[in-house]
Amino acid sequence: MNQLTIEERQENGRTVLEFAGPVNSYTFTEFQERVYKAVKKADLVVNLEKVTTLSSAGLGVLMAAMEEAEEGGRKLWIFKPSEIVRLAIESTGFTDKFPVLKTLKDLD
């Protein structure tokens, strides 16, 4: 069974969370905990390049985390979404709610 792995680093005052593996109904709790913990403290970049699937639960977490970040005066961006993640976002019909970065330099 594929596991969800998470790496965290700080870059220019922002937190970058890099996820690899599946974000599904089995792993989304861990995804949720890490995203919410990070977005409370600083702007957050969520790297989804190595994510192999993204379920509605994971998407629901991202949408709520974006709103929570905004309420706290912070921002959340999606970075390098994999093809399947792009399709998952597109399939919700809420594409405009997911700010996607092509490069981290876009933030500087």
Q: Please, which residues have CB within 8 angstroms of residue 95's CB and are 6 or more apart in sequence?
A: 89
Count the neighbouring beta carbons within 10 Å of the beta carbon of residue 50.
14
Q: How many residues bind other proteins, per CB under 8 A?
A: 31
- The span from the CA of 21 to the CA of 6, in Å, is 9
Quote the least distance from Cβ 55 to other proteins, whole Å. Answer: 6
Per DSSP bridges, beta strands 44-54 and 14-23 are: parallel
Q: Does 20 bind other proteins (CB under 8 A)?
A: no
Stretch that binds other proteins, among 5-13, 43-51, 72-80, 91-99 (CB under 8 A): 91-99
Residues in contact with other proteins by the rule CB under 8 A: 1-2, 22, 24-27, 32, 36, 52-57, 59-61, 63-64, 67-68, 83-84, 87-88, 90-94
